[in-house]
Amino acid sequence: MHAYRISETRDLTQIRAYLMRDPDYAAYALGDLEPPLSDSARWFIASQGDRIEGLALVYSGLTPAVLFLMGSRPALRALLAHGVGPDEVLCLARPELEPTLARFYRLGNVHPMYRMRVTARSFQPVEALDGSLPPPARLDETRAGDIRRLLREAALADGRDWHDVAFDPSMMRDGYYYGIYAGGSPDAPLIAAAGTHFVARQAGIAALGNVVVHPRQRNRGLGSRVSSIVTASLLGDGIERVVLNVWQSNKPAIHIYQKLGYEVVGSFIEVPARRRSG
């Protein structure tokens, strides 16, 4: 029988030390330790004595809120039984935790995900396959509408819910969003883009995200090109590891990232969940 003390903590040094036991799996959580993301993060732990056995991060900066879980199954079961977080969440957890999640939540579609990572040593930059394409241009927040339109068009073509796309214009403030406009003119449609979900300079970690290519412009090397320049910019600015999330079923995207030097370093599940009543 396991007895755990459940508590909310603001001891960021303690949290960071625990997350650094598996920095690849915990990469996004490490990002949430740093401003401005830390303003939307709450941390709950299941401990025995002075030792953390399980951790739950509730990040309210997205809708629905994100529930990230790390630790032993008994400890995480205790945290979930305690009722941390809102009733509706997007759960991120190890695959083996799915049965435990199902005890406390009604689960939506479970998406098996890969976490991929690249470092300066493994990075392989690529150039455009189509010589007629203009080079990627840096995008600032004034171009957020262009990215939203492109993400919406791609989601519609892929049969995905636009609201599942994790993009907020504030993500552009770190300065790592790049895009390619048709004909090279910013007055023309944006046909490819990539950027970051977060940049955590203290941890030396950033997450490549929102890589998108217009459905009619695919198979021209655009995704590789914009992903490459974002990755190169991050590594060139001293970020030690760049990570990303990708559906395990998205073989074309995985192939693109592998060509850039990204490697699979772990798996997890992403699943919308609503807490069971009673």
Contacts for 62 with CB less than 8 Å, ≥ 6 apart: 90, 166, 168
Residue type for 152, please? R
Place of tokens 């203009």: 134
The CA distance from 110 to 248, in Å, is 12
Which backbone phi and psi does 98 adopt, to 5 degrees? -55, -45
pTM attached to this predicted model: 0.92
Specify the pLDDT at position 164.
Answer: 61
SS (H, E, C) the chain: CCCCEEEEECCHHHHHHHHCCCCCCCHHHHHCCCCCHHHHEEEEEEEECCEEEEEEEEECCCCCEEEEEEECHHHHHHHHHHCCCCCEEEEEECHHHHHHHHHHEEECCCEEEEEEEECCCCCCCCCCCCCCCCCCEEECHHHHHHHHHHHHHHHHHHCCCHHHCCCCHHHHHHCCEEEEEHHHCCCCCEEEEEEEEEEECCCCEEEEEEEEECHHHCCCCHHHHHHHHHHHHHHHCCCCEEEEEEECCCHHHHHHHHHCCCEEEEEEEEEEEEECCC
Give which of 38, 47, 41, 28 is closest to 92, Cα–Cα. 28
Q: How far apart are CA 228 and CA 261, in angstroms?
A: 10
Per-residue pLDDT of the chain (278 residues; tens, 9 = 90+): 579 999 999 999 999 999 999 999 999 999 999 999 999 999 999 999 999 999 999 999 988 999 999 999 999 999 999 999 899 999 999 999 999 999 999 999 999 999 999 999 999 998 755 566 788 999 999 999 999 999 899 888 887 765 566 788 889 999 899 999 998 888 889 999 999 999 999 999 999 999 999 989 888 889 999 999 999 999 999 999 999 999 999 998 999 999 999 999 999 999 999 999 86
Quote the CA–CA distance of 155 and 212 in Å, as a whole number.
9
Domains of the chain are 5-113+270-275 (3.40.630.30), 123-261 (3.40.630.30)
φ and ψ at residue 134, rounded to 5 degrees: -75, 160
In terms of phi and psi (left: phi > 0; alpha: psi -120 to 50; beta: otherwise), the region of 266 is left
